[in-house]
Structures are given as C-alpha cells and as structure tokens.
C-alpha cells in the first residue's frame, strides 16, 4: 500500500467507525467495500476484521453497562457452530459472490415484523443469530443487516442494541481474522503497522458516533438504520452484478 492509500484508509476508518457508532453497523459494510478495491478478497476480510475489532471493541466499552451478556453467550455458541461448518467444507470466498450477497442483505431489514418475528432476547433466536450472522460474517466479511433483524424488533432500547451488537461483532471479527489468517499473511510488517496505526482513528470515530447516538430518538434510529444500509446494499449489488457481466 502506498502512502496516499494509507492516508485514505485512515480517514475511511474514522468515518466508517463514526457511522457504526451511530447505527451499530453500516460502517463495516463501507470499510470492506473500500478494502476490496485494494486487496484480495480473503485479505480484505481479515484486515477489515482486525480494524473492526478495535472499532467495535471501543464501542462496546463505551456502552458496556448496556451489554446483555446472556444474549451474547448464545450468539457465540451459534458462531462457533458456523465456524466449524465452514472449516469442514473448506470455504473460500470470491469477489462477485461476496458483493452480491452483501447487496441482498438489506432486504432483510424491510421484511415486516409479522413475516419474520425474530428476537435476540430469546435464547434459540440468539443462537440462530450467531449461526447465520456469524456464518455470513466469516463467509463474506459482514453480517450487519442479518444480525440487525434479530435486534431491531426487540423491546431493547437503542443503547442496549448497539452495545450488545458491538460485543457480538468483536467476537465475530476476531473469528474472521483467525479464519483468514493465511490470506492476511501476504501483508508486509509495514502494512500491518499502518493498520495498527488506524486504532486511534477507529476509537475517535466511535466516540463521535457515540455522541451522535445519544441525541437520536429510538424512532429515528430505526428509520435511518434501514435507509443507510439499503443505499450501501444497492452499491454492493451493482458491483457484484457488473463483475458477473
């Protein structure tokens, strides 16, 4: 990576961490899209995971009083099951599949509650959230909209939603880095140093997003989450289709 690319990456980390700090997701979607432009698929997923551990970790720490640890435990069990399945089948990602899958994810946040009444506060739903969300995170690099449908329809307030999802994503992204460790080995020590230098930018962005979150109402939080994710999904879907064509 050249110096201009590194500078652009650091700015992207700040802005996407701010976005995730507000909505509890979406930032990772944008950051992965940027990384996919400059790195191979597996490497991009691993690097995005390493950066998102910092961003989500700082967000989880700022909102730690609101984390629902019981929900997190069941989600982790589902994530472990998904990881075992993907490891057994020797899954390897490709760019077109990743983009199209991510592009279709926003459909989930528009499904009426009566059609798919998922609730992360229920243990078996939390396990399913870890299995599907964790599996998609390992397979294509992100799973925000998938995880979101298990939270956005609960009776939890916006702070508990963001906090618990952040803690979930810390574990999920850490698993992703481990899963794609061999792909990440192509990066030089200098490039990993640049990625490590992104930590304060991720924390600063998360803090800015946390400040904005406190000033949002629950109704606006839910409304804007849907629209932001949908716009990002359209971009991914268009890119994936263009790759196939």
Tell me whether residue 71 is exposed, middle or buried, using C-beta atoms within 10 angstroms of its C-beta: 0 to 12, 13 to 18, 19 or more. buried
Residues in the chain: 245
For residue 113, pLDDT beyond 70: no
Distance separating alpha carbons of residues 139 and 90, to the nearest angstrom: 11
**How far apart, in whole angstroms, are the C-alpha atoms of residue 104 and residue 59?**
26
Q: Are 45 and 141 in contact (CB under 8 A)?
A: yes
Residue 31: what pLDDT?
84
Q: What is the model's pTM?
A: 0.80
Q: What is the pLDDT of residues 211-227, one digit of tens each?
A: 887 777 777 777 777 78
Cβ atoms within 10 Å of 69's Cβ, excluding its own? 8
Could you list the residue range(s) of the whole structural domain that residue 64 is in? Answer: 3-244
Q: Are 145 and 109 within 8 A, CB to CB?
A: yes
State the pLDDT confidence band at 189, using cuts at 50, 70 and 90: confident
pLDDT value at position 5?
Answer: 79
For residue 59, pLDDT over 80 is answered with no
Task: Specify the number of domains making up the chain.
Answer: 1
Rounded to whole angstroms, the Cα distance separating 207 from 14 reads 10
């Amino acid at each position: 990576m050249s110096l201009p690319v590194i500078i652009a990456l650091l700015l992207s980390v700040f802005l996407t961490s701010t976005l995730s700090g507000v909505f509890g997701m979406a930032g990772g979607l944008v950051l992965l899209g940027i990384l996919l432009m400059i790195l191979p698929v597996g490497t991009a997923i691993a690097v995005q995971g390493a950066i998102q551990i910092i961003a989500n970790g700082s967000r989880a720490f700022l909102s730690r009083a609101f984390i629902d640890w019981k929900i997190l435990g069941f989600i982790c069990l589902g994530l472990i099951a998904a990881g075992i399945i993907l490891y057994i089948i020797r899954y390897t990602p490709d760019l077109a599949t990743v983009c199209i899958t991510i592009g279709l994810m926003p459909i989930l946040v528009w499904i009426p509650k009566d059609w798919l009444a998922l609730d992360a506060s229920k243990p078996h739903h939390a396990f399913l959230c870890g299995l599907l969300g964790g599996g998609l995170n390992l397979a294509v690099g992100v799973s925000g909209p998938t995880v979101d449908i298990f939270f956005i329809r609960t009776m939890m307030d916006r702070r508990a939603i963001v906090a618990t999802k952040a803690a979930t994503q810390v574990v999920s992204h850490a698993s992703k880095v481990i899963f794609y460790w061999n792909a990440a080995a192509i990066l030089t020590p200098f490039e990993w140093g640049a990625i490590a230098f992104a930590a304060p930018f991720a924390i600063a962005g998360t803090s800015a997003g946390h400040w904005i979150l406190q000033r949002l109402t629950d109704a606006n939080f839910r409304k804007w989450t849907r629209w932001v994710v949908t716009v990002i999904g359209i971009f991914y879907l268009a890119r994936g289709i263009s790759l196939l064509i």
